[in-house]
Amino acid sequence: MNIDGKPYRTIWLGSDGVSAEIIDQTKLPFALEIVTLRTLEEAAHAISSMQVRGAPLIGATAAYGVALAMREDASDAGLARACDVLAATRPTAVNLRWALDEMVAHLQPLPADARVAGAFARAAEICDQDVEACRKIGEHGMGLIEAHAERKKGETVNILTHCNAGWLATVDWGTALAPIYKAFDKGISVHVWVDETRPRNQGASLTAFELGAHGVPHTIVADNTGGHLMQAGLVDLCIVGTDRTTANGDVANKIGTYLKALAAKDNGVQFFVALPHSTIDWTLDDGREIPIEQRDASEVTHMTGQLPDGKVETVAIAPPASRAANYAFDVTPARLVTGFITERGVTPASREGLSLLYS
C-alpha cells in the first residue's frame, strides 16, 4: 500500500541482499522509520518488541530471521537454534510456527552451503504468497460489503474493526481491512469504526494511520463504544483478523474481540473473521487450548503519545502501587462468528466450513 504516494510493504529484502528491512511500527503514527535487520537476534527483537506485529507479518519476519541466522550458522544445529529463538518471541500467533515449519521443510534437505540463498529465497516466497492470499481475501470479502451497499441502496456501509488487521499486520493488503480497501477502491461508500484497542492502541495508531493514508473515511472510538454503536444501528458488519483459529472454528484475536462478537450477536450484526490458511491451527481442536500471551503490565499502566512540541513520551496513567494484568488476546467461540473470509472464499465458521475449503 502507499504512504505519501510511495508504495510500501511491511518487510522486504535489504539492498545488500542479506538483510531484511521493516517499518518500525512502534514509531507509527508519528514517524515513518525503516529498520534494517541483520541478525537472528535483531529479527527476534523486532517481533517481541512489536516493531513488527500482526500474525502474518510475525510469520514473515520469522522466515527472514531464519535466513539471517543461516548466515552465521547454516548447520542443522544452527537451524534448530534459530527456530527455538524465534518461536519463543510471541506465543499466540500460529503463523510464527507455520513459517518456521515452512523454512525447516525447505532448508533441511539442502546442503549447508546452499542454505543462506535457499532461506532468503523461501522467505521472499512466503512474503509474496501472503500478499496474494490477502489480495484474494480482499476480493472475497468485498462481495459481503457490496451486498450491504445494495441493501442500503448505496448509502454508506459502516464496518467496525478491532486492533489492526490491515496491511501493517501482514506483508501487504491486510486481512480484515483488505475487503474494505477493495470496496473503497471500487467506489462503494464505506466508513470504518476503529476500536482504539487498548492497551497498545493498534487501532488508534495503526489502523487509523493506514486507513487515513488510503483515504478511507473512519472514526476512532474508545474500546467500549462498539455495543452502543450496534444498539443504535450504526454498524452494518464487523470484520476482524485472527492470530490463531482452531480446527473447530474458534478464533483467538486481540483482547476485546470476544466482547465485540457478543455485542454483535445480541444485536443481529454480522461478525466476520478474515484469515489466510497460515492462521489455522489444525493441531488444536478447541480455542480453549490456545496459549494466550501475557505482556508486561507497564503496557496497561502507561501510555505513549505525542506532545504538542512533537516529542513522543510515555506517561503513567495508574497509581504506581496498583497491580495490572495484560492479557493480549482472547478467544471468540465459533458460534459467535458469522463466517470466515479466506483466500479460498467465504465459509461458515465451523469445522465443516473450514474443511469445505481446506480438505
Ligand X SMILES: CSC[C@@H](O)[C@@H](O)C(=O)COP(=O)(O)O
Quick one: which of 140, 198, 254, 260 contacts ligand X (CB under 6 A)? Answer: 254
Angle CA 108–279–80, to nearest 5: 25
DSSP conformation letters of 106-136: HHTTS-GGGHHHHHHHHHHHHHHHHHHHHHH
Per CB under 6 A, 54 contacts ligand X: yes
Quick one: which of 137, 160, 169, 300 contacts ligand X (CB under 6 A)? Answer: 169
Q: Which is nearer to ligand X, 201 or 350 (CB)?
A: 201
- Biggest CA–CA distance in the chain, Å, is 63
Per CB under 6 A, 241 contacts ligand X: yes
Site string for ligand X, 184-203 (x = CB under 6 A): ------------------x-
- Least Å distance, CB 134 to ligand X, is 8
**Contact range with ligand X by CB under 6 A, out of 38-46, 47-55, 222-230, 336-344:** 47-55
Q: Which among 118, 94, 124, 120 is positioned nearest to 106, based on CA atoms?
A: 118
Q: Which among 285, 310, 176, 328 is positioned nearest to 239, based on CA atoms?
A: 176
Respond yes or no on whether the N-terminal peptide bond of residue 291 is cis (omega within 30° of 0). Answer: no
135 is in an annotated binding site: no
Count of residues near ligand X by CB under 6 A: 17
User: What's the sign of the alpha-carbon dihedral 273, 274, 276, 277?
Assistant: positive
243 is catalytic: yes
Per CB under 6 A, 250 contacts ligand X: no
The active-site residue, picked from 223, 243, 281, 330, is: 243
Q: Which is nearer to ligand X, 158 or 202 (CB)?
A: 202
**Contact range with ligand X by CB under 6 A, out of 50-58, 81-89, 118-126, 227-235:** 50-58
**Contact range with ligand X by CB under 6 A, out of 178-186, 235-243, 303-311, 317-325:** 235-243
Within residues 124-163, the interface with ligand X by CB under 6 A covers 163
Within residues 78-97, the interface with ligand X by CB under 6 A covers 93
Give Cβ neighbours of residue 257 (< 8 Å, ≥ 6 apart).
Answer: 162, 163, 240, 251, 329, 330, 332
129 is in an annotated binding site: no
Per CB under 6 A, 55 contacts ligand X: yes
- Least Å distance, CB 304 to ligand X, is 14
Quick one: which of 61, 175, 245, 278 contacts ligand X (CB under 6 A)? Answer: 175
Q: Which is nearer to ligand X, 106 or 260 (CB)?
A: 260
Quick one: which of 280, 328, 334, 341 contacts ligand X (CB under 6 A)? Answer: 328
Long-range contacts of 7-12 (CB under 8 A, 24+ apart): 9/127, 9/131, 9/171, 9/172, 10/52, 10/57, 10/60, 10/167, 10/168, 10/170, 10/171, 10/172, 11/52, 11/57, 11/60, 11/61, 11/64, 11/127, 11/171, 12/127
**Contact range with ligand X by CB under 6 A, out of 63-71, 118-126, 136-144, 169-177:** 169-177
Q: Which is nearer to ligand X, 276 or 353 (CB)?
A: 276
83: phi then psi, degrees, rounded to nearest 5: -65, -40
Q: Which is nearer to ligand X, 60 or 119 (CB)?
A: 60
Q: Are the C-beta atoms of 251 and 279 separated by less than 8 Å?
A: no
Per CB under 6 A, 205 contacts ligand X: no
Separation CA 115–CA 121 (nearest Å): 10
Cell triple for 205: 495508531
Residue of closest CB approach to ligand X: 241
Q: Please list the active-site residues.
A: 243
Q: What are the binding residues? A: 53-55, 90, 202, 253-254
Q: What are the binding residues for substrate? A: 53-55, 90, 202, 253-254
Return residues touching ligand X (CB under 6 A). Answer: 53-56, 93, 163, 165, 169-170, 175, 202, 241-243, 253-254, 328
